[in-house]
Amino acid sequence: MSALLALHGFTGSPHSWDFLPEQPAVRRFVPALVGHRGASENGHVLSFEAEVDRLAQLSAEASTLHVVGYSLGARLALGLALRHPERVARLTLISGHPGLDSDNERAERRAADERWCELLLTRGSLAFVDAWQSLPLWSSQAQLDRATVERKRSERLSHDPAGLARSLRVTGLAEMPNYRQELTQIRVPLTLLAGGLDAKFRSLAEQMAKIVAHAELTIVDGAGHDLLLERPQFITEVIRRGNQP
């Protein structure tokens, strides 16, 4: 494999991948996503697919990529595999979503994201992170040690509130194209991962695996949505195997 492109989730950062050991033979690209601290797009990215194209350009030095994405990063990784198939040699989607089916779903999600944006812009990062971390999506993290939980909280708090609002407005699920019908175009090896305790995303992974016949699906028992945080050793092994010739 020429290179690895690893894409973090919403409120994450390139540091979300710090658990990955170096592989001397594999070049690594770990960018900050639009709206997140350290992103290099300087306000020029105005759509989901424009961010996909930016990520493709950032890693243009590599002829082909193993693209690994978690949550928001998985959605962008899927977009990259479909918009720039010549660049992607392997695709690994962790807690991924193929896109919303209907205009009603999209409108409901956009309204929900706008409420998060209002919280970010009126009350700031601390109020937002407190509310975000109380979501049932993260309940499985109660099993983690305090230091790990605090490290994740600090990562979330490191971002500018306006930046996170921009991330939601540009790359939120409501702004993502519905890629479900295009999944059959994926010809490269595809690995789908989801936590066994994450019912919604486990179901989505199972649905995608039915559409892409050659996909390898793994449901991680006892884990929730954030497999990078909850099962870093397992994710390391999946990526290591994927990077082998």
Q: Where are the domains of the chain?
A: 3-100+177-242, 103-168
Pick the closest to residue 154 from 134, 123, 133 (CA basis).
133
Q: What is the pTM of this model?
A: 0.97
Q: Model confidence over 164-221: pLDDT tens digits? A: 999 999 999 999 999 999 999 999 999 999 999 999 999 999 999 999 999 999 999 9
CB of 198 within 8 A of CB of 70?
no
Domain 3-100+177-242 carries which CATH code?
A: 3.40.50.1820
- Residue 1 above 60 pLDDT? no
Confidence tier at 245 by pLDDT (50, 70, 90): low
Sheet containing strand 3-7, strands side by side: 27-29, 3-7, 65-70, 88-94, 190-195, 216-220
More reliable by pLDDT, 22 or 130: 130
The stretch 130-134 carries a mean pLDDT of 98
CB of 99 within 8 A of CB of 38?
no
Angle value at C-alpha 184, between 180 and 185, nearest 5 degrees: 105
Q: What is the DSSP string of 59-106?
A: TTTSSSEEEEEETHHHHHHHHHHHH-GGGEEEEEEES-----SSHHHH
The stretch 64-68 carries a mean pLDDT of 95
Write the DSSP symbol of residue 175. G
Pick the closest to residue 12 from 76, 64, 81 (CA basis).
76
Q: What pLDDT is recorded for position 21?
A: 93
